[in-house]
Structure 1
Amino acid sequence: MDTEYDWITTPVTAGLLRGALDVEHTDHGVLPHRLPARARAQNTDGQLAMAESQASGVRLAFRTRATAVELDTLPTKRAYVGAPPRPHGVYDLIVDGRLAGQGSVTDGNVVVVDMIAGTAEHRPGRPGTVRFTGLPDGDKDVEIWLPHNETTELIALRTDAPVEPPRDPGRRVWLHHGSSISHGSDAASPTGIWPVLAASLGGVELINLGLAGSALLDPFTARALRDTPADLISVKIGINLVNLDLMRLRAFGPAVHGFLDTIREGHPTTPLLVVSPILCPMHEDTPGPCAPDFSGLSGGRLRFVAMGDPAERASGKLTLGVIRDELSRIVKQRAADDPNLHYLDGRDLYGEADADELPLPDQLHPDAATHRRIGERFARLAFTADGPFAPPS
């Protein structure tokens, strides 16, 4: 370590973290989790295990006079056989609410995925350091948002001035659950994913349970939502159920009711917003499953295609159109006895005109510009005076 700064090391503890529901102690340090241990113990799906351990919406938060900050981490990255290297995860430095720097840790573990063979190999790596210098002098609120698309073990936090716990922001807590789009797939950085953008515009504190490939109405996820203190809750339901071809219409309706019932056990009157899928042309009227198209993989282009048959809707297979109709019906039915339950059609966040202007690059996930558009629209529809999450009068 260089001697340019008189470094002070501060242990990374749960008290410095926001956006994590659990913290696991590892051989290297601490690993934030976005699902509690009880939920993780009931899960056998590797995709969900990976998704919940990735730090979407998780950040270190503290107050300090420091002008330099270093964070040692051990990331776990992904690489795909036959594809160009993926960009390294980005750490966003926020000082007094504004983006003040970005960096990456280039070392770390790598999971090498062979999508054709269906295998994954874990290759261990070494820790690395992200450094931010030139911060303004004087007391300030500092946040380091961890990469939304990497698992990040936190080893050491160093500063050139003492660190204090963060001030209570006094903002309402928004708890959100959704799919890879909410997780942040194809966003440029952790503060560029649409829920973070919406939270910033809405003046709320975000806990993001966007779980890539894993918004599947799992009961343990519902219990995690039930047991997490929150002032506002939203659940974005649909796309993963279709692209995994997980269930039929007969099971879908009762599963949605059960999911909402469980949330209401812990939050009986909290504003609860059910959001249907954004437009995804390939699955609007065609059921899943969806499958990757490897033809452009060597050039860094991965696309997805729908494998179902539109005629299968007659036997109860789900499409996004079917899911929107059913979610709208369920919310309307329940809202008769639950005035704090609301519905938002996802096409109001990203619809046909948006798809013409900003098509989904891989047929499934929005790019960085589209994340911004979705976040801005959600903030306008949910957090303004006429929205379900309107500020208290």
Structure 2
Amino acid sequence: MPSAPLAHTTPVTADLVRGALDLEQTPDGLLPHRLPAWARAQNTDGQLAMAESQPSGVRLVFRSRATVVELDTVPTKRVYVGAPPRPDGRYDLVVDGEHAGQTSATGGNTVTIDMSTGNAEMNSGPAGGVRFDGLADRDKTVEIWLPYNEITALVALRTDAPVEPAPPSNRRTWLHYGSSISHGSDAASPTTIWPALAAAAGGVELVNLGFGGSAVLDPFVARTIRDTPADLISLKIGINLVNGDVMRLRAFGPAVHGFLDTVREGHPDTPLLVVSPILCPIHEDTPGPTAFDFSRLAEGKLSFTASGDPEERAEGKLTLNVVREELARIVEERAKDDPHLHHVDGRVLYGEADHAELPLPDRLHPDAAAHRRIGERFAAHAFADGGPFADAAS
């Protein structure tokens, strides 16, 4: 038997959404973006366009006595030809800071992607949504964290009690920039991507600019960070520069300096942590580009391989070890005049011993357990007493 209609319908408006930098009104609903419109206008890459539209770290936050909450959405799911089916994106419910439920949305659009040709085909579908019930009948703060891996147009909230926006948070805001690992690839749910876990442990509000396949030091991203209010900033740099084979060593150093210069124009004294890549054995000493391992794809397994030649390092091609050395050098030099600039080797977060215990299932991305470990390690390093993001550092 269908559920009885709920008494209160609340359109999703900007005052209910956190973690997005822009909201676009579309025929499907309100679409969160993690880059502003002017930055999107400077982008011509389809991968980044998809990644920034996936609402990693974006959540609805409101106050209500509601015991039932429904969120109407139009999700866009991805299907890869020849690859194992991807699990539906998860929505996490958090009530007064505690995880209180999880589900996936029905309906929506489907994008079918052929990795061998790069072609993509969109098939439109009906609006869907999620439902959470059994909530306590008391005034409370409710958060609905959106799937990190599904473009999600927001239509309306339906509840059995009135909804009002939650008051602004008095916690510090942490803005993080990174690759698919920061975006959330292969994490269990939106609150268990490693930046969300670290933010919860550190007691901060997260703005996640982790863009799958797209952390390549784009100047428009640097200007976005420059112009976005933040109390803490971290930049995880390297893996996409290597696996996209997008620049050589000659360009890398100046690009890092330029990115940092731009960020510092808007945040001259903000604690700023540069994070080098976590361990990824296929690219430690072998340049990109990264390629799909079609032999494993034929077995129904998604996996990647490094297609570069280690000898090409002599020609200036980047590897993870080259990137780490250069980032450490750049931060050490700049920190002489910038006491709020810090560096951490990504292998502190996930290194050889971690890989032996929790190997990267597709050779590129950590699994759910490794996301948790990276988040815990980052929080222990950054937010602990004496760490770059400790209260005394703000």
Task: Answer whether TM exceeds 0.5 for this pair.
Answer: yes
- 1:198-237 matches, within 5 Å, as 198-237=198-237
Deviations 1:253-294 (Å, cap 9, x if unpaired)? 000000000000000000000000000011001111110012
Output the aligned Cα RMSD: 1.2
Find the residue that maps to 2:79 and give its secondary structure.
Answer: strand
1:86 Cα offset (Å): 1.2
Q: Which moved more, 1:299-308 or 1:233-242?
A: 299-308
Q: Which moved more, 1:257-266 or 1:4-13?
A: 4-13
Deviations 1:109-168 (Å, cap 9, x if unpaired)? 111001112211111111102000000010000000000000000011111111111122
1:128 is matched with which residue? 128
Task: Measure the CA separation in 1 of the matches of 2:223 and 2:191.
Answer: 27
Unaligned ranges ≥5, structure 1: none
1:362 is matched with which residue? 362
Task: Measure the CA separation in 2 of the matches of 1:185 and 1:18.
Answer: 21
Q: Say whether the 8 Å CA contact 1:84–1:299 is kept in structure 2.
A: no
Instruction: Give the aligned residue type for 1:184.
Output: G
2:158 is matched with which residue? 158
Task: Measure the CA separation in 2 of the matches of 1:387 and 1:131.
Answer: 40
2:17 is matched with which residue? 17
Q: Are 1:250 and 2:250 an aligned pair?
A: yes
Task: Measure the CA separation in 1 of the matches of 2:285 and 2:296.
Answer: 25
Task: Measure the CA separation in 2 of the matches of 1:13 and 1:45.
Answer: 28
Task: Measure the CA separation in 2 of the matches of 1:171 and 1:302.
Answer: 39
Task: Measure the CA separation in 1 of the matches of 2:162 and 2:225.
Answer: 35
Instruction: Give the aligned residue type for 1:9.
Output: T
Q: How many residues align?
A: 393
Deviations 1:297-324 (Å, cap 9, x if unpaired)? 2554111110111111111110000000
Q: Say whether the 8 Å CA contact 2:69–2:132 is kept in structure 1.
A: yes
TM-score (norm 2): 0.98
1:84 Cα offset (Å): 2.9
Deviations 1:326-356 (Å, cap 9, x if unpaired)? 0000000100110000001000000000010
Instruction: Give the aligned residue type for 2:248.
Output: R
Task: Measure the CA separation in 1 of the matches of 2:121 and 2:28.
Answer: 21
Q: Say whether the 8 Å CA contact 1:22–1:32 is kept in structure 2.
A: yes
Q: Say whether the 8 Å CA contact 2:106–2:130 is kept in structure 1.
A: no
Q: Which moved more, 1:2-11 or 1:84-93?
A: 2-11
Task: Measure the CA separation in 1 of the matches of 2:309 and 2:118.
Answer: 24
Task: Measure the CA separation in 2 of the matches of 1:196 and 1:6.
Answer: 31
Report sequence identity in percent. 73
Q: Say whether the 8 Å CA contact 1:84–1:298 is kept in structure 2.
A: no
1:391 Cα offset (Å): 1.6
Find the residue that maps to 2:258 and give its secondary structure.
Answer: helix
Unaligned ranges ≥5, structure 2: none
1:58 Cα offset (Å): 0.2
Find the residue that maps to 1:392 and give its secondary structure.
Answer: helix
Find the residue that maps to 1:177 and give its secondary structure.
Answer: strand
TM-score (norm 1): 0.98
Q: Are 1:138 and 2:138 an aligned pair?
A: yes
1:147 is matched with which residue? 147
Instruction: Give the aligned residue type for 1:221.
Output: V
- 1:75-224 matches, within 5 Å, as 75-224=75-224
Deviations 1:54-85 (Å, cap 9, x if unpaired)? 00000000010000000010001100111232
2:331 is matched with which residue? 331
Task: Measure the CA separation in 2 of the matches of 1:129 and 1:248.
Answer: 45
Task: Measure the CA separation in 2 of the matches of 1:369 and 1:152.
Answer: 26
Instruction: Give the aligned residue type for 2:134.
Output: G
